[in-house]
Amino acid sequence: QVHLKESGGGSVQAGDSLRLSCATSGYRYSSYVLAWFRQVPGKEREGVATIDVDGSTKYADSVKGRFTISRDNAKNDLYLQMNSLKPEDTAMYYCAADTDVRSLSEYDSPLSALEYNYWGQGTQVTVSS
């Protein structure tokens, strides 16, 4: 199995930045699509950004130009750099893996939560106005 653990969340003011990290392990000799999602209580889980084995990315419209997803092959880590944070970015942020897919070109909806089969426990991001 793939294990994922998020870190880096916290409470910040609007306009500030945060960098989330996700440590992944379990499939040493394989690679797969990774993504960030977020969820507010009572609402559907929302895809934020995703990245495939070759580094291709896709972002939700709400975060384009502000967030950057990246991965470190040596450390096997996933990152989300969040700049110009807004109160509406407040949510629990989850990292996720789809071990069945290598390329975003295989998806019709790469930011759909239904595509991913492994999830971290989440890290809270709170942005105050």
pLDDT digits (tens, 9 = 90+) for 65-102: 999 999 987 778 999 999 999 999 999 999 999 988 99
Do 81 and 67 form a contact (C-beta atoms < 8 A)? yes
Mean of the pLDDT values across residues 2-11? Answer: 96
Burial of 23-35, coded b for 16+ CB within 10 Å and e otherwise, reads ebeeeeeeebbbb
Instruction: Kindly state the tokens that stand for 29.
Output: 């000799």
- Note the pLDDT of residue 28: 59
- Note the pLDDT of residue 65: 98
- Note the pLDDT of residue 30: 59
Q: At a CB cut-off of 8 Å and minimum separation 6, what does 128 contact? A: 11, 12, 13, 14, 87
- Does the structure show a pLDDT above 70 at 46? yes
CA–CA distance, 35 with 119 (Å, rounded to integer) = 10
Mean of the pLDDT values across residues 15-22? Answer: 98
